[in-house]
Amino acid sequence: MLDDFMTRAALAGIGVACAAAPLGSFVVWRRMAYFGDATAHAAILGVALSLALQISIFAGAVAVALAMALTVTLLTGRGYAMDTLLGVLAHSALAFGLVAVSFLSGIRIDLMAYLFGDILAVSRGDLAVIWVGAVLVVGLIGWRWSALLTSTLSPDLAHASGIDPRREQLILTLALAITVAVAIKVVGVLLIAAMLIIPAAAARPLSRTPEQMALIAAALGAVSAVAGLQSAYVLDTPAGPSIVCVAAIIFACTSALRGLRA
């Protein structure tokens, strides 16, 4: 079954959707959209370093994405507005990554595949990495679900309950770095933030509890992946952007539904 490249691509898309859904819900609740974008942009620098050092691209992307997220966390409140800080770091990391790639002589690299994804070229090894990463993220978020929710609702309430909000922020940061690393092959660094945010935002009008929102977001993300792949196959369009376009259409539909209910 896995000899069919479309089957591998669909399984990869579903795996990324499962990883991004619960994390994307927290990104929406905490208004961390730019945070996710900055972490994703930093991943291209991780790709360049991985190729230069001849180590796993997954390991390099996780390390650099985690370093970026930790840097943002540490510099927050040091005299710069959050959006300014994220803008500077995100675009700087992307630029340094692209420059670093240009110095990789003797190594052939399809830069467009890392920027916009190449889900149709997913191998069995890539599929294993994606699903192991998805299981890690879902397990990590599930383990700390209650504490993460409490610290998201109110840091003061979290402190009163014996929960350290900064520790929960670091857990989210780790989960975000893993998700970025596994999603590179599917949608690329420029579209990862879209897969984090759009399905979660689309699930919000359909949900009554946080748990419902995470589950519905996973389902909508999976539908976006499969339908996007099918439309890319039929219309001969890029697969990664097609997946995001389907997710955007679903978001428009759920938003319209919320408007009708109001």
* Domains parsed from the chain with CATH numbers: 5-190 (1.10.3470.10)
Percent of the chain with pLDDT over 90: 19
- What's the pLDDT score for residue 251? 95
pLDDT category at 202 given cuts 50, 70, 90 is very high
- What's the pLDDT score for residue 2? 47
Please give the mean pLDDT across all residues of the chain: 83
Average pLDDT over every residue of 212-240: 91
pLDDT digits (tens, 9 = 90+) for 90-137: 788 888 887 887 777 666 666 677 777 788 888 888 888 889 989 999
- What's the pLDDT score for residue 262? 59
pLDDT over 90 at 228, yes or no: yes
Tokens 């966390």 found at: 73
Average pLDDT over every residue of 77-94: 75
pLDDT category at 76 given cuts 50, 70, 90 is low
- What's the pLDDT score for residue 243? 92
- What's the pLDDT score for residue 3? 52
pLDDT over 70 at 78, yes or no: no
pLDDT over 50 at 1, yes or no: no
Average pLDDT over every residue of 53-80: 77
pLDDT category at 187 given cuts 50, 70, 90 is confident
- What's the pLDDT score for residue 216? 94
d(C-alpha 200, C-alpha 222), whole Å: 12
- What's the pLDDT score for residue 242? 92
- What's the pLDDT score for residue 96? 84
